[in-house]
A and B are shown apart, each in its own frame.
Chain A
């Protein structure tokens, strides 16, 4: 079973900075729709082929601090999560405005179980 470390919203950037300084590579982020509870965002880090996973559980319509100013590579996956789940990230280094894959006029969030969110951060 997957072991994850709980993460709070305030600690997202601090943990990312600590991982960056300690030589951890960001593998990716994974967003999971947990239904009424909101979303889980998993941050997957790797060092010497050992992975650790942080789990951020948030209610819907929470704005999450972007880690792209620390890990530039996060910019694509964070934009993808905006497209697919409508989760908003603050201070993205490159914001595609919810149109990384989808057309700009598409305002639904196709990966949510119930797609009602509007992608306006």
Chain B
């Protein structure tokens, strides 16, 4: 039978970002898939040579908006390891809270996009409606919806008041209720199962050998999650990964759905166990406004807008606290990073790894970022051969591709 090469992307209705696949097809069956990248490569790692190690926090946050908090966390933990900085315990819990909020909004975003990919538009809208509550929490606690910019080397720049914690817990009750209402639809609906069960199967052995990470790996039966290494406050909170065993699109979406509920519990646990105390150490050479403070508007000015224009703030979102807490800075750390470190955190899409090298100067010698989508593309190339052409969009989307992460 004659073979045809079909271009899939870089512009495609299911792809929020540009990824190009050359699909070799026979009739309606995919025989081979070859990727083409380079549409959004920005060379962000190279910027470490012209932006000092504190400024690089803002750069790495922009590797990917959806996971911005976790990029900054991974980078800061690496630098803290090199410089021997002990982060205050409260800061670790705050990092955990914002990290898990990021996971929730990323998974809800993906679940909506996934529903849209197989034509279930009302489900897409429901997931995105729930997601708005998570975005409201981030805006009310950080001043921004997506790039929350809370991490600094040595801790966090924001704090949560008791009232904010209470309000977050109230919101989590509503979010959990609304997410659980969607359980039957996302997990048991005939249409959803028809489009996802048995599609894009990645066996347990293949997933591991091809270096799959995150929900791709856990959806194939591996209980592996970087949170088990105990970064941030996970060493005190404890953590059990969500695992599914079928390795298909349905298993991967189930992992993400269950992880959304798990993140709600983790945020509750972190709030309940968060100790009082400092939120940051003061690293020499840090930016002037890196002094931690809750919702002071700062550079973003979002909360200043809230303050000026009462109509810009939803009625159920509490007014931001503009008062600075007393005694939030612990000690001052001197010196520049000199040495190497490798750190890992669990992004919503999977394991994120940073390699950092400093030579005692204010500029890093090398910042290397290995993002989860970068690791999940080879397994995708293994999943596509043999599938029907109509299933390609669902399978591609099931890895939750983030190309701006991948290309950096």
Task: Indicate which residue in A30, A33, A71 contacts B211 across the interface (CB closer than 8 Å).
Answer: A71
Q: Are A73 and B340 interface neighbours, CB within 8 A?
A: no
Contact with A along B396-408 (1 / 0, CB 8 A): 0000000000010
Cα of A102 to Cα of B46 in the assembled complex, Å: 15
Nearest B residue (CB) for A27: B353
Residues of B contacting A102 in the complex (Cβ-Cβ under 8 angstroms)? 38, 41
Q: Restricting to A39-55, which residues have a CB under 8 Å from any CB of B?
A: 42, 44, 49, 51, 53
Contact call B355/A101, Cβ cutoff below 8 A: no
Q: How far is the CA of A76 from the CA of B378 in the complex (A)?
A: 8
- Given the complex of chains A and B, what is the CA–CA distance between A12 and B407 in angstroms? 26
Is A18 positioned at the interface, with any CB of B under 8 Å from its CB? no
Instruction: Give Cα A75 to B377, complex, Å.
Output: 10
Known contacts A101-B38, A101-B407; A32 and B366 CB within 8 A of each other: yes
Q: How far is the CB of B217 from chain A (nearest CB, A)?
A: 9
Q: Looking at the complex, which one of A25, A44, A49 makes contact with B342 (CB distance below 8 Å)?
A: A44
The minimal Cβ–Cβ distance linking A48 to chain B, given in whole angstroms, is 8
Asked if A94 is at the interface (CB within 8 A of a chain B CB), the reply is yes
Question: Does A58 lie at the interface of the complex (its beta carbon under 8 Å from any beta carbon of B)?
Answer: no
Q: State whether A110 and B43 are in contact (beta carbons under 8 Å apart), knowing that A72-B378, A73-B210, A73-B375 are contacts in the complex.
A: yes
Chain A residues lying within 8 Å of B340, measured Cβ to Cβ, are 1-2
Question: B46 and A110: CB pair below 8 A?
Answer: yes
In the bound complex, what is the Cα–Cα distance between A10 and B375 (angstroms)?
Answer: 26
A28 at interface (Cβ–Cβ under 8 A)?
A: yes
* Cβ–Cβ contact B339 & A111, under 8 A: no
Specify the main secondary structure of chain B where it touches its partner.
mixed
Which of B211, B366, B370: most chain A Cβ within 10 A? B211
Q: Which residues of A contact B389 (CB under 8 A)?
A: none
Specify which chain A residues have a CB less than 8 angstroms from the CB of B339 in the assembled complex. Answer: 1-2
Contact of B355 among A26, A42, A49, A100 (CB under 8 A): A42
Query: Are B43's CB and A51's CB within 8 A?
Result: no
Q: Which residues of B contact A7 (CB under 8 A)?
A: none
Near B by CB (< 8 A), chain A positions 53-91 give 53, 71-73, 75-77
B37 within 8 Å of A by Cβ?
yes
Complex contacts, B341 vs chain A, CB 8 Å: 1-2
Is A101 a contact partner of B374 (Cβ separation < 8 A)? Answer: no
Within the complex, the shortest CB–CB distance from B214 to chain A, in Å, comes to 13
Q: How far is the CB of A36 from chain B (nearest CB, A)?
A: 14
Could you name 29 residue pairs across A and B whose Cβ atoms are closer than 8 Å? A1-B82, A1-B341, A2-B340, A25-B208, A26-B211, A27-B351, A28-B353, A28-B374, A28-B375, A30-B366, A32-B357, A32-B368, A42-B355, A44-B342, A44-B370, A49-B224, A49-B226, A53-B342, A72-B209, A72-B378, A73-B210, A73-B375, A73-B378, A76-B378, A77-B370, A101-B41, A102-B38, A103-B38, A111-B43
The 9 A-B residue pairs with the shortest CB-CB distance, nearest first, are A73-B211, A2-B340, A28-B370, A101-B41, A101-B38, A73-B378, A30-B368, A30-B355, A32-B366
User: Contact residues of A with B, CB < 8 Å?
Assistant: 1-2, 20, 23, 25-28, 30-33, 42, 44, 49, 51, 53, 71-73, 75-77, 94, 99-103, 110-111
Q: What would 14 more interface pairs be, CB under 8 Å, given A2-B340, A71-B209, A111-B45?
A: A1-B340, A2-B339, A25-B208, A27-B375, A28-B370, A28-B374, A49-B229, A72-B210, A72-B382, A73-B375, A73-B379, A99-B38, A100-B38, A103-B38
